[in-house]
Amino acid sequence: MTEARDLSSQFPSIQYDSLTCIFHPQSEAEIVQLVQYASAHDLQFRVIGSGHSVVKSILSTAQGAINISLDQYRAVTFNDDGTVTVQAGCFLGRNAPAPWENTLFYQLEQKGLAAPDMGGITHQAVGGFTTMGCSGGSVQYAYTDSIVAISLVDGQGTVHAYRQGKDPEFEAVLVSMGLMGIFSTLTFKPSERFNIIGDETCYALDDVDCPIDFFGPGTTDKPSLEQFLRQTEYTRLLWWPQKGAERMVVWKAQRMKSEDYDGLTGTPESFKPKPYTEFPVILGSQIPAQVAASLFYQLSAGWRTLFEEWIPAETPLRDLLEALIEATYETQILPFVINLFAPVFKRDVVTSEPVPPPPCPFGSLFSDEVRVIELGRNTGSNPMQGAAAQGSAGRRAAGGPVLRLLDLEAASQTGSTRVTSTPIDLWNDVLARMPGMNEQLSKLESALSERGLKLPRYYHLHAPSEALQGLQAGSEAASQEPVGTQRFWDNWYGSLPMDNDVSDFLMPTEFTELWIPLEKTQELMNDLRDFYEKGGFKATGSYSCEIYAAKANDLWLSPAYKQDVIRVDVFWFHDIYRSEDELEAFYQQYWELLRKYDFRPHWAKYMPEGDMGAGYLAQRYPMWKQFLELRAQMDPKQLFVTDYWRNALGIPQVNP
């Protein structure tokens, strides 16, 4: 818990939030004023952007620390030389905690300009996305390639300006995790605006007709995965390695050329976008599917805890239900759910209305009761939880979801919204579509009948209203594309960030992301496949693993320094039922497995410690020593060094 004190009286002209203990400067002069005060009084100083990074990497909880947000420092200036200067608090694009019209991408679009690439989401602030070394999925384009100048405020309150190709410090400070100073402005040389066209297809790993050789060297008509990553303008893969699922979802896109436009897309002047949709469209919306996915992952992690609340301990019913779930989760329930959200591509099988389920053969299993399953918002009293709950970090702090089962007439939380107008039918919508469940359900029916009990059959889903705001509804029209694939074409800022529609509240996800030389792709993929096959569910977990690439650069502490990379991004659903120790134990498997590849971890995500901490990293960054030396000059009192970053980089304590 932070020991922040109220310093607002020292700076009456600077906006201050007493609830979160965060200053909101509106000018570079105000940033300088705050830094100079921190320097004079030996106070730590950090910036929070959208809160998308690991929480410990963002804020300082030291005694008297000054934490600021640059959300009021967001102007965009179009210069006469074609460059664009952006204040560091400006958010990138859609779904940011600011109006779309205030974002960088909106303003570039209005001028016929674009960023060359971006990450899978765009609600981060420009400064945070840059300083943490974030990247999109391309070895042909890179976001940082468009940055030509930067200004920052160092640890003594001095403003420095560096230009690409002129000042060697430019390569040192651009990816510096906020440890060199506070980014003030970044100047870009943007691309001309463009549209993209692409497709996403889900391939079974044993599909001999898959156009990519995921694990081999490739052939004349089928590229290896390394070749595919190099040849494709924009791409990412989602690997579902669980037994019974074993599939790869391949998303790829390219900038549209004149020959890509037709009657469906319209012309460049009268473009008719067909955006990418990440979740199935149910009742004309992506929202029910996302709420259902959130519910499933909450239940998969927390069903034992919920049983303790709902069913008395040491009862035959509880024992039976626990045994049923344990017997079917990995082999039937999980593959079924994965197939709902990532159905395997079936050539010549067009998506159509689902086949009606068979009549329920278990007449005494269900009652006609209707219940409400509510994903409610947790609350917390810690002020710094409130700070971290800004933006996406709410998934890791007080704002995360909690699961409640309610009677239909029970009061839901204030601001809760019913997601579906008709209740979900547990038999028709779920169990009847889950192969191999009848034997288990027959046992359950018999056990419940002996005790005069039945399962409620119908359920409404409720979620906080604000968590649903901004989620894209999707098309009402039925798809005429083959099962497991979709084509899309869209504006550059629309579908290039393909994960923008993932709600941080409904799908709270943690990551560890390991950057590995791209030429190691084939060996890496085979090691991962063997690891999954031998380790089973302990190795795979319930979630997917993202595979994508990044272009080499000259930025000293970028994980892509001097090398094109393949990135292994391991997902973990962040729920309230599992501890941080479980998360790190899950990730430890990957850190140990992939250590031989000399991976460099993403600075904004979970990183290993111990023998894969600072000493390990120092050996993998040729400019490590020079970075730390320059960092000490820029911040001699270590204002920007929290305990987290001291440990991560091995920064020695400054002499008093």
Query: What beta strand segments (E) does 492-635 contain?
Result: 509-517, 545-550, 565-573, 600-601
Q: How confident is the model at residue 397 (pLDDT cuts 50, 70, 90)?
A: very low
pLDDT value of residue 282: 64
Q: What is the pLDDT of residues 496-546, one digit of tens each?
A: 999 988 887 788 889 999 999 999 999 999 999 999 999 999 999 999 999
pLDDT tens digits along 485-494: 999 999 999 9
Q: Is the pLDDT of residue 635 over 70?
A: yes
Mean pLDDT along residues 153-169: 97
Burial of 431 (0-12, 13-18, 19+ CB in 10 A): buried
Task: Give the Cα separation of 464 and 412 in Å (integer).
Answer: 10
Domains of the chain: 76-192 (3.30.465.10), 195-264+479-612 (3.30.70.2520), 287-468 (no CATH)
Average pLDDT over residues 377-386: 49
The mean pLDDT of 349-354, rounded to a whole number, is: 66
Helix (H, G, I), strand (E, B) or coil at 543: coil
Give the angle 50-52-54 at the CA atoms, nearest 5°. 130
Q: Output the pLDDT for position 113.
A: 98
Specify which of 61-75, 481-495, 618-632 reaches the highest per-range mean pLDDT. Answer: 618-632
pLDDT of residue 373: 84
C-alpha of 618 from chain center: 27
Mean pLDDT in residue range 387-416: 61
User: Cβ(228)–Cβ(518) under 8 Å?
Assistant: no
Only one residue has tokens 């037994």, namely 243
What does the DSSP 8-state code read for residue 350?
B
DSSP secondary structure string for all residues of 150-210: EEEE-TTS-EEEEETTT-THHHHHSSSTTSS-EEEEEEE-PEEP-EEEEEEEEEETT-TT-
Residues 6+ apart with CB under 8 A from 504: 391, 392, 394, 395
Query: Exposed, middle or buried, 332 (CB in 10 Å: 0-12/13-18/19+)?
Result: middle
How much is the pLDDT for 1? 36
* pLDDT over 70 (residue 381): no
Q: Give the span between the Cα atoms of 136 and 342, in whole angstroms.
A: 22
What integer best gives the mean pLDDT of the chain? 88
Give the 3-state DSSP-derived string for 14-45, with helices as H, strands as E and coil as C: CEEECCCCEEECCCHHHHHHHHHHHHHCCCCE
Pick from 542, 654, 557: nearest CA to 607: 557
Place 3 in a pLDDT band, splitting at 50, 70 and 90: very low
Mean pLDDT computed over 422-441 = 85
Q: How high is the pLDDT of residue 617?
A: 98
Tens-place pLDDT, residues 227-243? 999 999 999 999 999 99
More confident residue, 36 or 403: 36
Between 95-99, 187-191, 192-196, 280-284, the lowest mean confidence (pLDDT) is in: 280-284
pLDDT above 70 covers a percentage of the chain that reads 91
Amino acid at 387: A
Partners of 46 in beta bridges: 67
Q: Give one DSSP letter per residue of 396-422, joined into a string.
A: TSTT-EEEEEEETTSPPPTTEEES-SS
- Is 393 a residue whose pLDDT tops 50? no
- In this structure, the strands spanning 565-573 and 545-550 are antiparallel
User: Percentage of the chain with pLDDT > 90?
Assistant: 61
- Both tokens assigned to 273: 């976008």
Question: Mean pLDDT throughout 626-631?
Answer: 98
pLDDT score of 379: 56
Q: How confident is the model at residue 472 (pLDDT cuts 50, 70, 90)?
A: low
How many whole angstroms from its chain centre is CA 636? 34
Are 211 and 252 in contact, with CB atoms under 8 Å apart?
A: no
pLDDT band at 264 (very low <50, low <70, confident <90, very high): very high
pLDDT for 435 equals 76
DSSP 331: I
Q: Summarize the confidence of residues 364-393 as an average pLDDT.
A: 64
Choose among 137, 417, 187, 135: nearest CA to 291. 417
Q: What is the pLDDT of residue 473?
A: 53
**Polymer length in residues for the chain:** 656
Radius of gyration of the chain (CA): 26
Task: List pLDDT tens digits, range 536-556.
Answer: 999 999 999 999 999 999 999
371, β-bridge pairs: 407, 459
Distance (Å, whole) CA 193 – CA 491: 9
Contacts of 519 (CB under 8 A, 6+ apart): 226
Per residue in 4-23, pLDDT (tens digit) is: 456 767 888 999 998 888 99
- Name the E strands within 382-504: 401-407, 416-418, 424-425, 455-464, 485-491
Q: What's the rounded mean pLDDT across residues 459-485?
A: 70
